[in-house]
């Protein structure tokens, strides 16, 4: 981890996190006993989101991290202070749980300027002709595999989401 990340973590995280917080944090390469479950408290997710917010300030206005990968889905944390690209995932659904902030989710329609960036993944500049719905803290939205979607963030607003990507195809 670089010096910037270390300094940022020292500012954002308590000096001695409690045992529950340490146990809840994902461990790279760590294996849990079969049948164990994963748990991330809202407080822990928002602490991690504060870290992503700081990274986004020094980057392009959006940051995310994978919390854990599973055989047919993964859990991610996403922060954005700007519009996202239009996206289509042929094989994966997205479930967004809004932890903080607000944004507009555009779904359906077609992707303008569509470019295939990898197997089953298309990006573009915008979603044209889609349905718009405002998302706020506490809301949950499901975008099925194959559906164009885009997150729009107005003005000085931000949004932080727990994103579950689920393999459907």
Q: Is 42 inside any structural domain?
A: no
Q: Is 83 inside any structural domain?
A: yes
CB 123 within 8 A of CB 117: yes
List the domain range (segments joined by +) for residue 78.
Answer: 61-167
Q: Is 53 inside any structural domain?
A: no
pLDDT of residue 33: 54
Q: Is 105 inside any structural domain?
A: yes
Residue 72 pLDDT more than 70?
yes
pLDDT of residue 31: 53
pLDDT of residue 92: 97
Total number of domains in the chain: 1
CATH number of the domain at 129, please: 2.60.120.10
pLDDT digits (tens, 9 = 90+) for 111-159: 999 999 999 999 999 999 999 999 999 999 999 999 999 999 999 999 9
Q: Is 11 inside any structural domain?
A: no
Q: Is 76 inside any structural domain?
A: yes
Neighbours of 157 (CB within 10 A): 14
What is the phi/psi pair of residue 21, to 5°? -65, -40
Q: Is 25 inside any structural domain?
A: no
Q: Is 17 inside any structural domain?
A: no
Closest CA to 77 of 104, 92, 55: 55
């Amino acid at each position: 981890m670089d010096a910037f990340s270390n300094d940022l973590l020292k500012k954002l995280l308590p000096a001695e996190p409690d045992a529950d917080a340490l146990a809840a944090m994902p461990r790279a390469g760590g294996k849990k006993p079969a049948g164990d479950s994963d748990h991330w408290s809202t407080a822990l997710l928002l602490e991690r989101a504060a870290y992503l917010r700081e990274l986004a300030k020094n980057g392009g206005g959006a940051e995310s991290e994978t919390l854990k990968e599973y055989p047919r889905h993964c859990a991610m944390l996403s922060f954005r202070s700007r519009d996202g690209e239009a996206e289509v995932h042929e094989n994966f659904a997205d479930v967004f749980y809004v932890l903080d902030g607000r944004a507009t989710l555009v779904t359906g329609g077609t992707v303008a300027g569509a470019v295939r960036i990898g197997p089953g993944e298309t990006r573009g500049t915008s979603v044209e002709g889609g349905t718009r719905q405002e998302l706020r803290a506490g809301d949950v939205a499901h975008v099925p595999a194959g559906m164009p979607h885009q997150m729009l963030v107005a003005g000085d607003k931000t949004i932080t989401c727990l994103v579950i990507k689920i393999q459907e195809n």
